[in-house]
Every structure is written in structure tokens, then in C-alpha cells.
Amino acid sequence: MIEIFAVGGYNDIGKNCTAIKVDDEIVIVDLGIHLENYIKLTEDDDLIKINPKNLMKAGAVPDISVLNKLKESIKAVVISHAHLDHLGAVPYLADDLKVPIFGTPFTIEVIKNILKEDRIKIESELRTLAPNSRCKITDNIELELVHITHSTPQTALVVLHTKYGSVLYANDFKLDMHPVLGEGPNFKRLKELKGKVKILIMESTYAPDAKKMPSETVAKEMLREVLLETEKNDKLIIVTTFSSHIARLKSVIEFGKKLNRKIVFMGRSLAKYVDAAEKANLVEFSKNIEIKKYGKQIEKFLKKIGNDRKEYLLVMTGHQGEHRSVLSRISRGELNFELVHNDWVVFSCNTIPTPTNIANREMLESELKKLGVRIFKDIHQSGHAAREDLRDFINILEPKSIIPAHGTNEMKEALAELSEEMGYSRGENIFLVSDGNKVVFKNTKNI
Ligand SMILES: [Zn+2]
């Protein structure tokens, strides 16, 4: 018997967590954080104790109490990729579970860096598994990580092979034939898995969008046009993007070098992800850039810039207008540095559409406008598969059942509709679930 527990990420985007129970053994896939709820909790009340119970109550981490009675059955945690909504709860929940945590080398390095930075020690063993390889978790469950493209390196499709067939977890991915960093999706392996996947747990975030998600090379081209083909200036250029988006950062460095500017990364989270990527031997950014991690270091460096604005390209945190980020602080005239008329700020990102982010970004942009800064926004392509990619993915695998995940009801509904178009039926082999629900596959011969 296989049971799928929708623990987190099935009501909205964030705190992803799915438990897969095969007979009496459980593997948990992803332990993510809900960033907005987490920030709300930690900002609202300085005195609140950050313990698993409080975090769960606030919806900041997945509510794993649904597995309380099954704790003995939990054998491992597998992390699909290095985004916080997939691994951010590891520091808080790992000691509750005390089982090995598996991930690709980059993902594990990111976890290590987060633990180090937050000075948290966990008992669980962190185990790396190379992309496109497999290992036994128990006598009955074999884990395979299949390489797929997304917006952070070494993202994996998590496959559990069991005597009942395979369960494939596809949160998150895009089908990018021309990635800027690393290889394209492992289509060869996906084709081999055709017909063998009994249950497909799949992201639905962009299921309502009738398109194919453009490649990261398209985002790179957008960035190239802005940085290299917009009227040259003698002012400061600032780029802000996701710290985990190593491919995007690589493009920024490439163009910064072409502009003959000194490239400086600023902020703790950028430092954390760049360090993880270097330790996993994916890039060698340090050869070409300087990194300023902490406020004092950043302040000291900014002082040096003075009238040499045209000599620098700064990459910094703050793309969502986060209040404490380097960019927001600079926009408010903190850090003893002021932006001036015609300085550039390039937002190589989208605004993640939550009320807090939208409000924060508006505030940041209005500060920048007051200073006369030139703003370039939405220089970006998403890392998520859109409707026609999802269709292709289902066609390649021909799974027996589909569980829409990673989204709101509207998003999951759109994936359910797409599956219906492709011959699947609700209740029979499409299962719409919310956080706290489970799907039981009793008659395992027929699943
Ligand atoms: Zn992701």
C-alpha cells in the first residue's frame, strides 16, 4: 500500500513537504519554509521562541504533527533543491525526525551554510547523492535523483522505486533545453521511466499559463540588452536578483566583465549561495568578483566608490524590497551612501505576488524614483514549467495517477483540467488535496 501525505505546499506556495508511505516506511520529500509567515512571526514578536511548535502554529514550517503517530516509520528526508520553500525548515525540524537528509551536492552545501550562519547544529546526517544516481534507503525503497532544470543548480526530480512501481516528485522544474549553467533535463532517463511511474506529484504554479516557459537564455538576452545595449552611462549600475539563481549571477558577471566594471556582490544571502556553488564545483565566481558580506564591510566599501561610479557594477540583495536588504537600506540613505540621478537599478526578477512583497517593492521603487534612479524591472524568466511544458512532461512519463501540488486551489485546478484534457479523471487518477490530507492507494496492483 502507498499513501501520500500532503503535509505542506498544497494550499499556497511555501513550506513544501510531502510524506510518501510505502507499507510501513516513510520518506519525507522537502522541508520548506513559508517565508512570509516566518518573517511575520519573527518580526511581530521579538520575544517569541522559535521552536517547531510555534513555527508550525504560525504556518511558517510544514505541520509534521500529522505524522506524530508514525514517527518510527520515517526513514529519510530528501530535499529536491536549494530553495528556501523546499529546505528552509531543515534547521528547525531535523532534530524532531533524526533521520538522514539526502540531496545533491549543491543542495547539501546550502543547508550546511544556513546551519553555520544561524549557528544551529542538527543530529541528522547530511548525505549527498550526485544528480542522476540512485541509492537504497531501505530494503524496500530505492531513491533516484534525476537531473532537471529550474532556477537554482542541481535541482532533482525525486523518484522512489518500490515493489509497487515508482513515485515521482516534480516540485519544482522547467523544461529548459538551453540552460545557462549545467545540463538540460535528463530526457533519456525520463523516457526510460515511461509507464513505470504510478504516482506523479507535480507542481501546478504556472499551470494556468498557456505557454511554454522561455529558457534561461532568453533571460540572459534580456539582461544583455539592458546592460550592453542601452545608452552607455557613467553612473553606478546595481543589479538585484535571487541569491540562489547562480545561472543568472553568472550572466551578470559575464556582462559586468564586458563593461570593464569591477563586480562586487553584497549581502549575506548572496555570499551563502555563491560559497555553496563554489564548494560544489559549479562555478568559480571568486576569481572575478569581490564579496562583501556584512553591513560594516559594505559600508566601508561604498565609501570608496565616491566619484568612480562608472567603474562598478554592484550585485545586491533586495529584489523583493525586503526592508533589511542592502538595496532597501541604500535607497533610504543608510549605509552612508546615496544613489544619484541616473544611477541604474536592474531588477532581474519578478515580484513574487504576495501582499507584503508588492507593498515592499512599491515602497522601494518610490524611494528610488525620488532619487531619479533609472529602474529596469522584470528582466527575468521564471524557473517553473508552464501549461504546455506540463503537458509534455505528462506525455513523456504517462503516469498512472497525478497529484497536483505547489500551488493555490486555482493553480491545482488548472493542472487537474489539463490532466482531464489528456484523458485522466478526477477521483480515479487525478487527486486534488490540501495540506493535512492524504491519498491512499490501496489496491496497489491497479495504481
Ligand atoms: Zn524552487
Q: Domain residues of the chain, as ranges?
A: 2-211+383-441, 216-376
Tell me the fold of 2-211+383-441.
Metallo-beta-lactamase; Chain A (3.60.15)
- CA 60 to ligand 1 centroid distance, Å: 17
- CA 261 to ligand 1 centroid distance, Å: 31
- CA 83 to ligand 1 centroid distance, Å: 5
Per-residue model confidence as pLDDT tens for the chain (447 residues): 999 999 999 999 999 999 999 999 999 999 999 988 988 887 766 666 688 999 999 999 999 999 999 999 999 999 999 999 999 999 999 999 999 999 999 999 999 999 999 999 999 999 999 999 999 999 999 999 999 999 999 999 999 999 999 999 999 999 999 999 999 999 999 999 999 999 999 999 999 999 999 999 999 999 999 999 998 778 999 999 999 999 999 999 999 999 999 999 999 999 999 999 999 999 999 999 999 999 899 999 999 998 899 999 999 999 999 988 999 999 998 898 999 999 999 999 998 888 888 999 999 999 999 999 999 999 999 999 999 999 999 999 999 999 999 999 999 999 999 999 999 999 899 999 999 999 999 866 655
Nearby residues for ligand 1 (ion, Cβ within 5 Å): 83, 172
- CA 78 to ligand 1 centroid distance, Å: 14
- Residue 423 has which C-alpha cell? 484523458
End-to-end CA distance of the chain: 10
- CA 171 to ligand 1 centroid distance, Å: 7
DSSP SS3 for 282: coil
- Residue 10 has which C-alpha cell? 498544497
Query: Helix 216-229 and helix 246-258: axis angle, to 10°?
Result: 30
- CA 447 to ligand 1 centroid distance, Å: 28
- Of the CA atoms within 13 Å of residue 188, those in its CB half-sphere come to 3
- CA 175 to ligand 1 centroid distance, Å: 13
Say yes or no: do domains 2-211+383-441 and 216-376 share a fold: no
- CA 150 to ligand 1 centroid distance, Å: 7
- Residues 331-367 have pLDDT tens digits of 998 898 999 999 999 999 998 888 888 999 999 999 9
- CA 165 to ligand 1 centroid distance, Å: 26
- CA 151 to ligand 1 centroid distance, Å: 7
pLDDT attached to residue 46 = 61
- CA 364 to ligand 1 centroid distance, Å: 25
- CA 85 to ligand 1 centroid distance, Å: 7
pLDDT attached to residue 373 = 96
CATH architecture of 216-376: 3-Layer(aba) Sandwich (3.40)
pLDDT attached to residue 88 = 97
- Residue 261 has which C-alpha cell? 566594471
- Residues 44-57 have pLDDT tens digits of 666 666 889 999 99
Residues 119 and 367: their CA atoms lie apart, in Å, by 35
- CA 288 to ligand 1 centroid distance, Å: 27
Residues 346 and 238: their CA atoms lie apart, in Å, by 6
